[in-house]
């Protein structure tokens, strides 16, 4: 019972996507919308890099605090 519903939903979903991309060269997600997701990816990488730095700083501070007691 569930299977046909999911299939129908998926078909409808892809129909919508294809209707939007109609008559243009089919592109993958990263290349869609003028490759804007490459820029999004770059920003996410930089954000993760900054978080990584904070995480390391956090660990060193924890060590420092532990020495205190």
Partner 1 sequence: MDGLIRKMWWKWLGVALLVYVFIAGMLIPLKPNVPTVNYEDAQPGEALEVEVIGYNTSFTQQEEDTRALLCFPDSLKPHIVAQSVEVFDDRRAKFSFQLPADLPTDAAFLNLSLIVSGGEDGTYIRPDAVRLENSGEVAVSGTGATWSHEEISGLKDLNRMTFPARRIIEETIRNTYFHVALWLAMVILFTAAAIYAIRYLRYQKLAEGGKLLNVIKGLDVRQRADIWSLALTEAGLLLGMLGLITGFLWAKYTWGSYWSGDIKQYTTLIALLIYSAYFVLRITFREPEQKGRISAAYNIFAFLLLIPLIYILPRLSGNSLHPGNAGNPAFGSQDLDGTMRAVFYPAVIGWTLLACWLASLRFRMSHVEIEREEMWERETIDSEGQMESKVIS
Interface residues with partner 1 (CB under 8 A)? Answer: 23-25, 30-31, 33-36, 38-39, 41-43, 45-46, 49-50, 52-53, 57, 60-61, 64, 67-68
Residue 36, CA atoms < 13 Å, CB-side half-sphere: 3
What the block records as the tokens of 43 is 């920003």
Q: Report the nearest approach of partner 1 to the CB of residue 14 (Å).
A: 22
Q: Report the nearest approach of partner 1 to the CB of residue 17 (Å).
A: 17
> What's the DSSP call for residue 28?
-
Q: Report the nearest approach of partner 1 to the CB of residue 50 (Å).
A: 8
Contacting residues for 32 by C-beta, under 8 A, at least 6 apart = 21
């Amino acid at each position: 019972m569930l299977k046909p519903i999911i299939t129908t939903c998926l078909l409808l979903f892809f129909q919508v996507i294809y209707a939007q991309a109609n008559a243009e060269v089919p592109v993958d997600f990263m290349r869609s919308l003028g490759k804007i997701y490459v820029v999004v990816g770059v920003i996410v990488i930089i954000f993760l890099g900054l978080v990584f730095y904070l995480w390391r700083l956090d660990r060193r501070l924890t060590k420092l605090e532990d020495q205190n007691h």
